[in-house]
């Protein structure tokens, strides 16, 4: 946005207060299509004549050299047209987003069970899958590393370890009155999008390729396909109208599927669709990183933290993928809502012979924050205090005058509302009365135990990598007054298109029904960033607003030229343009402008200001602002079976001035249940041979409707973003995933009541029934030994 446009925007009058198209609870732009089954996903696109179908041949070993590979039975299988291996890739055999260590197809070394070795193309999806299983491959097995603990012991890392220090933690430890020390393991999580990985590649003339892909990052897919085919990016068009869920799993890891569909289509000069069945999808793709922590914390008699040290090691998998920025965000979110004066944080990305783990909603933030919450929970129990009181003592200061408002990486916290937000939730949830009631219940109930916890969150909004914080958009106004908008964000059910359309409608002063969003397309908006890091609406909303405003300026100038008055007094509202005591219908003015050869389309661009980050010193200003929230959860646990139920959940989330409260509340609800699944039921398990055994809905338990609490109270906190975000709103994609920390700590609270809250239960996540029972037994043993 240039200075002239900025000045014009500052001077232009706002629409009458009685009219707006932002801040309203509007339905999702595809809601009716979703309900009727008419929303077009990649697999719903009508197939071009001659379309073929592909399937992958996968490794059965976790770590091995391929000694011999006989694919004769594959090639002779029914319906098979072609089989391709690494040697058939015309260009670069790599789909790694940062470090180029992730082959599209194995070149002789396999590093996890499920790694693609070849692709088979057949006349049908079923024939391709059947053929892929007929390969005869012999291996020379090598030692395999499967856990982050093993990786740390072997010093096996995909990138060098990173470290962030502030103050002198060791000296602070020596002066602290109390110390707590321990270990924690938090498991990973499958994205489990309803629509699996899929790409449909259609060859075009002159080495062109159109790739329909279910992806959060069309531009990255464009780059990977171009490199794999050894052509320029302008030969490749990637399009995505919508995804049936992404959650990070389609940010970088859709590249493998896009590349292999395109490679096959390029060889055969025929369209090729590569659709993953759920088992193959879960075997091949990466998940949320699991973390193992070794922590130590010093604190005084009041529970104030004076020193903290943590070593975090993740299961990165066999390649780097996005592990470095995930670990960076974990380091930057270890503080959560707490000021840590003297701190020492080490993060290691363990190289393991498992799927290469990748982005997942929260992107390391939840894994960083849960460690400090676990520590505070222990401090409170050690002091015989309510954990909420210990949390409050350690909160960041409200403002610079209070101090305690600079993060461990050097960014000032200038928008802290956690004190007010938690106070509001504490009162509305009746936390103190329910805490007393739970204690009374547990005193008279030997088997069933209730637990209660209130946990806060602070989450930084922006990409860790500064240059990703940019977006573009196109807005077209047609002569009938209808508007078409295209932007670089991708729709995965989160409502980005709805919000962007609201922004454009508001800017032009027209009803929302007059604005339509089209598919994300690399030939329309170039060099886009991934729809990730909770920045989708922030970046693309601003870019679309910029484009719409340019058109609005042209129309205002034309209106003044036609009807008199001055530009500063022109108002766009309710489908009308008010100028010099005239009220002209928007479409009428647009038509007049067209006849006078006024340009009615424009591009827009936005780059988030004020961001900088030094990865060497792990310091800077990586986030545009922080989103805040808190939740209270009450559970009941059967200490004989480990079964539990969430009785009630109260959540309060800071969405700033929400662009669409209905969509934002839905996102909070969904994130809460998804995060609850991560911390309680969703357990990834590999057998000793390195095969993921939880690779289907039959063996992997995501939360169902029966797991949702009957009493679920979600509200948006009344606030206004201090930063100039789009209409002063705040992101709502990832931060709410931290809200269900309260479920995990409520379970831990219930288990602690078995021994009258005297001991800290050694509870890891996910807190499955088996894990809960082990924690109950451990607490009982501590009580008996005391």
Residues catalogued as catalytic: 734
- Give, for 633, the enclosing helix (H) or strand (E): strand 625-638
Contacts of 174 (CB under 8 A, 6+ apart): none
Q: Contact, 91 vs 100, CB < 8 A?
A: no
CB 71 within 8 A of CB 114: no
Note the helical H segments in 447-509: 496-508
C-alpha–C-alpha distance, residues 769 and 766, integer Å: 9
Burial of 232 from C-beta contacts in 10 A (0-12 / 13-18 / 19+): exposed
Q: Which two tokens stand for residue 533?
A: 């890091």
Residue 208 CA to residue 442 CA, distance in Å, equals 68
Measure the CA angle with vertex 198, ends 194 and 200; round to 5°. 145
Hey, how many other C-beta atoms are within 10 angstroms of the C-beta on 70?
A: 12
Q: Tokens standing for 579?
A: 């100028």
Residue 186's DSSP bridge partners are 291, 765
- The CA R_g of the chain, rounded to the nearest whole Å, is 27
| Inter-residue contact 192 to 250 (CB < 8 Å) | no
Comparing CA positions, the residue from 629, 532, 622 lying closest to residue 164 is: 622
- Nearest Cα neighbor of 190 from 786, 766, 776 is 766
Sign, Cα dihedral of 758, 759, 760, 764: negative
Q: Where are the alpha helices (DSSP H) in 239-398?
A: 255-268, 278-284, 323-332, 365-383, 387-394
The distance from CA 773 to its chain's CA centroid, rounded to whole angstroms, is 31
Contact 324, 497 (CB under 8 A): no
Query: What contacts 283, CB < 8 A, 6 or more positions away?
Result: 58, 113, 114, 355, 692, 695
- Please tell me what DSSP assigns to residue 629: E
How far out from the chain centre does Cα 161 lie? 23
597 — alpha (psi -120 to 50), left (phi > 0) or beta?
left
Contact predicate 325/383, CB 8 Å = no
Query: Looking up tokens 């780097």, which residue turns up?
Result: 320
């Amino acid at each position: 946005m240039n200075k002239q446009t900025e000045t014009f925007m500052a001077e232009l009058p706002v629409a009458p207060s009685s009219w707006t198209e932002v801040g309203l609870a509007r339905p999702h732009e595809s809601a009716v299509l979703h309900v009727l089954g008419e929303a077009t996903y990649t697999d719903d696109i009508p197939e071009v004549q001659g379309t073929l179908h592909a399937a992958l041949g996968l490794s059965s070993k976790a770590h091995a050299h391929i000694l011999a590979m006989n694919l004769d039975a594959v090639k002779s299988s029914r319906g098979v047209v072609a089989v391709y291996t690494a040697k058939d890739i015309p260009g670069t055999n790599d789909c790694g987003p940062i470090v180029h260590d992730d082959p599209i197809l194995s070149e002789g070394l396999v590093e996890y069970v499920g790694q693609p070795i070849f692709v088979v193309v057949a006349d049908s999806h079923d024939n391709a899958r059947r053929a892929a299983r007929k390969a005869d491959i012999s291996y020379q097995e090598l030692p395999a590393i499967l856990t982050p603990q093993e990786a740390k012991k072997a010093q096996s890392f995909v990138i060098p370890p990173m470290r962030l220090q502030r103050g002198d933690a060791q000296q602070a430890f020596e002066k602290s009155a109390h110390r707590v020390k321990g270990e924690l393991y938090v498991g990973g999580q499958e994205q489990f999008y309803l629509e699996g990985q899929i790409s449909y590649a259609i060859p075009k003339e002159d080495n062109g390729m159109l790739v329909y892909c279910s992806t959060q990052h069309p531009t990255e897919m464009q780059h990977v396909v171009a490199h794999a085919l050894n052509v320029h990016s302008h030969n490749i068009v990637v399009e995505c109208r919508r995804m049936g869920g992404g959650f990070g799993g389609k940010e970088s890891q859709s590249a493998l599927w896009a590349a292999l569909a395109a490679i096959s289509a390029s060889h055969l000069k025929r369209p090729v669709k590569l659709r993953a069945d759920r088992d193959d999808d879960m075997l091949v793709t990466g998940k949320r990183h699991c973390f193992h922590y070794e922590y130590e914390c010093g604190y005084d008699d009041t529970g104030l933290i004076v020193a903290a040290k943590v070593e975090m090691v993740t299961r990165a998998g066999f390649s780097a993928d996005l592990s470095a920025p995930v670990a960076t965000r974990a380091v930057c979110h270890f503080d959560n809502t707490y000021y840590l004066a003297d701190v020492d944080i080490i993060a290691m990305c363990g190289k393991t012979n498992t799927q290469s783990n990748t982005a997942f909603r929260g992107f390391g933030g939840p894994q960083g924050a849960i460690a400090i919450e676990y520590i505070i929970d222990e401090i409170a129990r050690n002091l015989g205090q309510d954990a909420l009181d210990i949390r409050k003592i350690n909160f960041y200061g409200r403002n610079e005058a209070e101090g305690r408002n600079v993060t461990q990486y050097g960014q000032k916290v200038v928008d802290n509302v956690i004190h007010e937000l938690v106070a509001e939730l504490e009162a509305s949830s009746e936390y103190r009365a329910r805490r007393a009631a739970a204690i009374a219940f547990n005193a008279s109930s030997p088997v069933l135990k209730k637990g209660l916890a209130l946990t806060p969150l602070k989450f930084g909004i922006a990409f860790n990598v500064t240059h990703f914080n940019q977006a573009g958009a196109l807005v077209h106004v047609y002569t009938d007054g209808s508007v078409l908008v295209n932007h670089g964000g991708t729709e995965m059910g989160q409502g980005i298109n709805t919000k962007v359309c609201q922004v454009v409608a508001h800017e032009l002063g027209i009803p929302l029904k007059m604005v339509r969003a089209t598919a994300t397309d690399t030939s329309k908006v170039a060099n886009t960033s991934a729809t990730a890091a909770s920045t989708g609406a922030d970046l693309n909303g601003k870019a679309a607003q910029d484009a719409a405003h340019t058109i609005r300026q042209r129309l205002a100038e034309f209106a003044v030229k036609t009807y008199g008055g001055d530009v500063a007094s022109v108002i766009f509202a309710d489908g009308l343009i008010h100028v010099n005591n005239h009220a002209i219908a928007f479409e009428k003015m647009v038509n007049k402008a067209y006849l006078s050869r006024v340009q009615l389309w424009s591009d827009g661009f936005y780059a988030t200001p004020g961001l900088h980050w030094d990865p060497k010193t792990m310091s800077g200003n990586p986030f545009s602002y922080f989103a805040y929230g808190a939740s209270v959860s009450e559970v009941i646990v059967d200490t004989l079976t480990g079964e539990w139920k969430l009785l009630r959940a109260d959540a309060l989330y800071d969405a700033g001035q929400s662009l669409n409260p209905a969509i934002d509340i839905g996102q909070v609800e969904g994130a809460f249940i998804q995060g609850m699944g991560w911390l309680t039921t969703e357990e990834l398990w590999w057998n000793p041979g390195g095969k993921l055994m939880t690779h289907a809905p039959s063996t992997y338990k995501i939360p169902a409707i029966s797991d949702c609490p009957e009493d679920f109270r979600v509200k948006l906190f009344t606030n206004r973003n201090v930063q100039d975000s789009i209409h002063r709103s705040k992101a709502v994609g990832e931060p709410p995933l931290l809200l269900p920390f309260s479920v995990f700590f409520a379970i831990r609270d219930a288990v602690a009541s078995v021994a009258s809250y005297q001991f800290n239960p050694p509870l890891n996540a996910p807190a499955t029934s088996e894990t809960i029972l082990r924690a109950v037994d451990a607490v009982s043993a501590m009580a008996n030994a005391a």
